Amino acid sequence: MTLVLVAAVLMGAALPVAFQLASGALVGTVPGAVAGGPGSPAADRLQLALVAVAVVFVAQQVLAPVRTGFAEAFGRRVDGALRARTMRAVLAPSGIAHLEDPEVLDRISAARGVGTGNWKPGDAIVGLAGAWSNLLAGVASAVVLATFHPLAAASLLAVWVVVIRRFRREFMEVVEVHVGETPVLRRAQYLRDIALAPAAVKETRIFGLSRWVSATFDEHAVSALREVWRRRSKGWGAIAWAVALIGAANFATILLVGLAGARGTISLGELTVYIQAVFGVGALANIGDNELRVAYGAGSVPPLLELERSPSPAALTGLLPADGAPREAIRFEGVRFRYPGRDTDVFDGLDLTIPAGRSLAVVGSNGAGKTTLVKLLSRLYDPQEGRVAVDGVDLREIDPDAWQRRIGAIFQDFVRYELSARCNVGYGALDRIDDDAALTEAARRSGAWPAIESLADGWDTPLARHYEGGAELSGGQWQRVALARALFAVKSGAGVLILDEPTANLDVRSEADIYDRFLELTQGLTTIVISHRFSTVRRADRIVVLEGGRVVEEGSHEELMQRGGRYAHMFRLQAARFTDTEEAV
């Protein structure tokens, strides 16, 4: 494809010159053909010249769309390759710190074309093919013109080179300004998604937000583009100067050729060739449009290269395997952690031991760091000080991918994949996604099987109503499916089970069912439970209370209730609410 495109570019440059020569020959034979009449050698030369002009003209008309078609096909391959590189760069780190970094998110958006007016590198390929074709055609025409007057040809070509360089600088400066507005454009894109995506349609209608969303989108979009418009308007003076210079150079060259023709210094055919050569050098003007494509289309490449050059500590592969871990315990030793861009620590000297094969419940007020604890344990983040050790080995010395395969988790903000039921459960252990027996067992243990069994195509039913044959689950059914995914991971070899608010979307009866089977679900596993519902928490072997970035209480439910501390106070508050409700009923 590259060779074909190069050949098309070269032919695109050669054909205009061939047309100049053929048309010059045609015009040059007209006087002789008129004088000699039909059947004369001059008339025969006229017919041959006419055929040559027709052939070259048709070739030009055919080649242009063919070259564009090949360039677009090549561009689609480039776009696909760069999209794949963007995905690899984003997915490479085992952690998620980079995905919560505004600068990295801006680079991702810019790599996807947000700051380039959605022009893609594939558009730059089309522009590049056109620009090179026009450049070579213009230079070739200048060579033809040089056979008449070398200095005139060189002067005209030099003027065009200066103007093109000026245009390119203007284009690049505008693109840099546009890419620099990516953070604002990213917010505008979010507002547009609110208006167009189904997730927010109910609230935008009920709360009357439609006009506000539209107006705020306009405000952000205009704010981002205003600087672009200002930079463009700043360049109008230079563009006017360049147009005047080009006009003067063309006028002077055409006047020189015309005077030579009027004096008889050159023939009628030569006059035709040289006049067309002047306009042929003007093909360089088309480089401007193509340079715009190149500048905007290639604008998303530097952010991608920055993504690839941005290593993350969590992306480094450890030296030790995670087979069978944890065998003894997971320990947080003097852990201090602060999210990037925050002013306060979540943990400040956290010490915590999680014995292997036992269940631990973590409670505390909102913002106490319960979910952060899980993120550190899962190696989604690394602590700034201290360490998380597994069987005495720093987690940073263990292969992060291998360690994460040892974990089955249901998070409070679990993902509802708009894919088949098989995918939604089977993603817990991708290598066993076709094991229907294991999938069904996980679904039965989580209580998701009745919902899956009732689906029209069973495991292969899409869990999204807007797909053909798809079905929509309730919030509680989705939570059971997410729990099944975690249990499927456990069934396939994971030794750590993380349950972050595992019953938040369940009704009372379903919640009670999960409580009753809690010990069965967690038996033999290293389990970390995060919940605001103490009926779940009390079933854990051990409970810790987080506050102020540290563990302030720990023990069994009975031990903590006897102490009458923070845990006992929170438990009684929740129990009183349910007691009051029962008395009111």
Alpha carbon 79 to its chain's center: 12
d(CA 383, CA 313): 11
d(CA 516, CA 29): 102
One-character DSSP codes across 46-94: HHHHHHHHHHHHHHHHHHHHHHHHHHHHHHHHHHHHHHHHHHHHHHSSS
Mean pLDDT calculated for residue range 129-138: 88
Burial 87-102 (b: 16+ CB within 10 A, else e): eebbeebbbebbeebe
Q: What is the pLDDT of residues 481-505, one digit of tens each?
A: 999 999 999 989 899 999 888 877 7
Report the length, in residues, of the chain: 585
d(CA 473, CA 486): 18
Mean pLDDT calculated for residue range 294-302: 84
CA contacts within 13 A on the Cβ side of 114? 24
Burial class (CB in 10 A: 0-12, 13-18, 19+), 299: buried
CB atoms within 10 A of CB 333: 16
Residue with tokens 């995914």: 485
Residue with tokens 């009920």: 206
Which segments of 118-257 are extended strands (E)?
Answer: none
* For residue 461, pLDDT beyond 60: yes
pLDDT of residue 331: 96
Mean pLDDT calculated for residue range 532-541: 84
d(CA 285, CA 167): 10
d(CA 537, CA 444): 23
All structural domains of the chain, each given as residue ranges with its CATH number in brackets, are: 2-180+235-309 (1.20.1560.10), 317-406+496-585 (3.40.50.300), 418-494 (3.40.50.300)
Q: Label residue 314 by pLDDT band (50, 70, 90).
A: very low
d(CA 324, CA 257): 87
SS3 497: strand
Structure tokens belonging to residue 252: 């002077």
Q: Label residue 585 by pLDDT band (50, 70, 90).
A: very low
Q: What is the pLDDT of residues 342-393, one digit of tens each?
A: 889 999 999 999 999 999 999 998 888 998 999 999 999 999 999 999 999 9
Strand partners, 291: none
Tell me the pTM: 0.71
Mean pLDDT calculated for residue range 33-38: 82
Mean pLDDT calculated for residue range 7-14: 90
d(CA 428, CA 430): 6
> Are the beta carbons of 501 and 412 closer than 8 angstroms?
yes
Closest CA to 111 of 92, 86, 88, 91: 86
Does 547 or 207 have the greater pLDDT score?
547
CB atoms within 10 A of CB 179: 20
pLDDT of residue 198: 72
Closest CA to 363 of 576, 555, 531: 531
pLDDT of residue 584: 37
> Are the beta carbons of 399 and 317 closer than 8 angstroms?
yes
CB atoms within 10 A of CB 381: 21
> Are the beta carbons of 181 and 224 closer than 8 angstroms?
yes
pLDDT of residue 32: 84
Structure tokens belonging to residue 343: 């002013």
Q: What is the pLDDT of residues 175-201, one digit of tens each?
A: 777 777 778 888 888 888 888 777 777
Percent of the chain with pLDDT over 90: 35
> Are the beta carbons of 17 and 141 closer than 8 angstroms?
yes
Q: Which range scores top for mean pLDDT: 118-122, 137-141, 295-299, 434-438?
A: 434-438
Q: Cα dihedral sign for 257, 259, 261, 264?
A: negative
